[in-house]
Amino acid sequence: MRFKASIHNITTFTKLTASLNSLGPLAWVKLSDEHVCFTIIPEQGTQVWAVLSIDSIFETYTVQSAAGNVINLEVPLTSLTRALKSALNATSAQLRLTKKDSAPLLALTIAVANAPNAHAAFPATAANNDDGFDAPFDSAFGSGNRETIVTQEIPVRVLAPDTVAGLHEPQCREPDVHIILPPLLQLKSISDRFTKLAMAGVKSGAATAPSRTRLEVAANMHGCLRLSIKTDAMSISSVWTDLNNPELDPSQVTGIAEHPSTRMKQLGTADGRSDEGWASVRIDGRDWGKVMSVGRLGGRVIACECECALCFCHDHALILYVYLPSDNGEDESVLTYYVSSYSA
């Protein structure tokens, strides 16, 4: 069983593991020739099934095993995230599967270039020397062996193929409504605010009752998304309009004419005032806040903005697809969140 890869996109990888970590402490990582899959199945709350193209995070990637070159690992996300964070300023980072005292572990080897003797020469300005402006002279004429090597060892468990054979991605019927989400930070801050309002004035013991923090998320096929919370004392909702309902691809979906979303298109209006045409689900506000944590992958650069689509099965399920852009534009990476929903 061998796995070795160098990481070429440390920032993305770190943000990915950090956002997955907010949903659960352990990830099932499946390494194969085609994809890298991260799956989080917490005891309760939202499941994530992420399928990443190999070149979205790795380069020079080799995986070999007796089970058809597939390796299944159970990885503690907190340790992995912590290890990856220490690689953010690295010149190179390599991840490989190895063993120490018969315990399997993922070894992350990081090379960090350090400006030679920068601290000794300019003690007073040591903190400003990280920009490396005075480094080129030494690296050009110096020994060239100035890198500091950091090794982080992350304990893992190897999962047998039988163990993972019973894990299946949830199945859902065709969605009633699908819609592209507004900027996630906006959505996150509003849903966080709603959840906070729902919990205000409640003793911390009672606040854990999930019935209080149920958010209702609804959307129609005319570009409207509505987030609302209702208690006996109040009812608040925020409505977004002019969002995009992506067209279904005829090559992927058969029978568009009978598709539930086609029927939903007949109902409702684009200003979101009509009561008709909404598909809605009830979700836990705190769980939703954890899901929204994926927004960090989008970053601030517009070109890298990840696209998030939400699929509604009325009163039944909510599925969030997060598409990550890839360099070659072919192999898309998709994170699928199966958001746990509650009946009314």
Which residues, including other chains, have CB under 8 Å from residue 65's CB and lie 6 or more apart? Answer: 1, 2, 71
Nearest residue (CB) to other proteins, 198 versus 225: 198
Positive or negative: CA dihedral 41, 46, 47, 48: negative
Pick the closer one to other proteins by CB: 55 or 192.
192
Enumerate residues 6+ apart whose C-beta is below 8 A from 24: 40, 41, 42, 45, 77
Nearest-approach distance from CB 165 to other proteins, in angstroms: 20
Give min distance, CB of 207 to other proteins, in A.
7
Q: Residue 235's beta-bridge partner residues?
A: 230
Q: Which is nearer to other proteins, 145 or 328 (CB)?
A: 145
Q: How far is the CB of 269 from other proteins (least distance, A)?
A: 31
Complex with other proteins: residue 18 or 51, whichever CB lies closer: 18
CB 334 within 8 A of CB 50: yes
C-beta closer to other proteins: residue 83 or 339? 83
Which of residues 100 and 273 has its CB atom nearest to other proteins in the complex?
100
Measured on CA atoms in the order 240, 241, 247, 253, is the torsion positive or negative?
positive
Continuous H helices in 37-169: 54-57, 77-85, 118-121, 135-141, 161-165
Q: Which is nearer to other proteins, 62 or 208 (CB)?
A: 208
Q: Is 232 helix (H, G, I), strand (E, B) or coil?
A: coil
Structural contact between residues 226 and 278, judged by C-beta atoms closer than 8 angstroms: yes
Strand 214-219, strand 225-230: pairing: antiparallel
Q: Shortest distance, CB of residue 147 to other proteins, whole angstroms?
A: 8
CB of 24 to other proteins, least distance (A): 12
Q: Shortest Cβ distance from residue 175 to other proteins (Å)?
A: 25
State in angstroms the smallest separation of the CB of 245 from other proteins.
Answer: 26
Residue 114 has which token pair? 């350090």
Dist CA 24 CA 210 (whole Å): 18
CB of 232 to other proteins, least distance (A): 5
Q: Whose Cβ is closer to other proteins: residue 22's or residue 32's?
A: 22
Spatial CB neighbours of 231, under 8 Å, sequence gap ≥ 6: 198, 212
When the beta carbons of 163 and 244 are compared against other proteins, the nearer one is 163
Binding site for other proteins (CB under 8 A): 11, 15, 18-19, 22, 26, 74-76, 79, 82-83, 85-86, 88, 103, 105, 114, 116-120, 123-124, 126-127, 143, 145-157, 185, 188, 192, 195-204, 206-207, 212, 231-234, 286, 289-290, 292-296
**Rounded distance, CA 106 to CA 1, Å?**
13
User: What is each CA distance from 196 to 183, 188, 189, in whole angstroms?
Assistant: 20, 12, 10
CB neighbours (10 Å) of residue 303?
6
Question: Shortest gap between Cβ of 149 and other proteins (angstroms)?
Answer: 4
Tokens 């010149």 found at: 91
